[in-house]
Amino acid sequence: MQLVFTEKHTPHVGLCIDVDKQLYTAQSRFQRIDIFESHEFGRLLTLDGVLMLTEKDEFIYHEMMVHVPLAVHPSAASVLIIGGGDGGTVRELCRYSCVEQVDLVEIDKDVVSVCREYLPTVACSLDDARVNIFYEDGLRFVRRCCDQYDVIIVDSTDPFGPGEGLFTKEFYGNCFKALKQDGILVNQHENPFYPEDALAVKRIHHRIVQSFPLSRLYQAHIPTYPSGHWLFGFSSKKYHPTQHIDEDRWKGYGITARYYNTNLHKAAFALPTYVEDIIKEVEDGEISRL
């Protein structure tokens, strides 16, 4: 008998992965959590039927979420992660000797416990002494913060369900307030290829640029994400993502990455024309009711 995990990316396009077996399934207070075993991509984590990560390509997403801001910020000691209960972003942050404190805010405690058990290579740093885990709503948590973090990483799910509040103008404004004077915000920014997702890209960027003086998009190729073309947002109070990268300092950390390098860092901000057009439409004020 052949088992297949299928995720629809549009009404007419989807991703199918042959799975050997289902290792875990349960309904948490917030969402359905499933772990599958596959030959091609290793173990898969899905939430409400949406693929969050696979063991084979998760390193691309997590490296680009972490190493881009850490190569720019000269002294990122305190970092806040909103979401990211799988632990991949924590793992990459804990590779930095300069990082003294990592606060992880995850609304669903079950996600963390399931990933500890079934995705140990991803969740391997959750017990690092520098990591503090808060099981609560990220929007509420960040409201209480002021001038506290060097970097905030919004490792959220898609803009619906439990993660919907992490895509609002209020949330990004609170992130601005929670950052120190030279703070950096990085967020996952969806894919720009399919029309409905491109609209989400516009909405997110429209809301972020109302709070931050500098906001740029960068990209990565992630095979199992919709269209394989994924965007990230880099927003800052002070630093430009390519003008202020310190390549020698980053290389001095001695971190061996599988996807990220400082040449790729600079190139990732060079976007295809169709993505530039999406950004221009927002920044020229043509999007007024997003």
Q: CA–CA separation, 124 vs 210, rounded Å?
A: 37
Helix axes 169-178, 195-208, angle to 10 degrees: 40
CB 215 within 8 A of CB 241: no
**Does residue 150 carry a catalytic annotation?**
no
266: nearest Cα among 250, 253, 277, 284: 250
114 is written with which tokens?
Answer: 């399931």
3-class secondary-structure state, position 86 = coil
20: nearest Cα among 44, 36, 33, 35: 36
3-class secondary-structure state, position 154 = strand
- Out of 155, 158, 197, 277, the active site residue is 155
N- to C-terminal Cα separation, the chain: 46
- In sequence order, what DSSP letters do the residues of 178-207 get, joined into one string? HEEEEEEEEEE---SSSHHHHHHHHHHHHH
Question: Which residues participate in catalysis according to the annotation?
Answer: 155
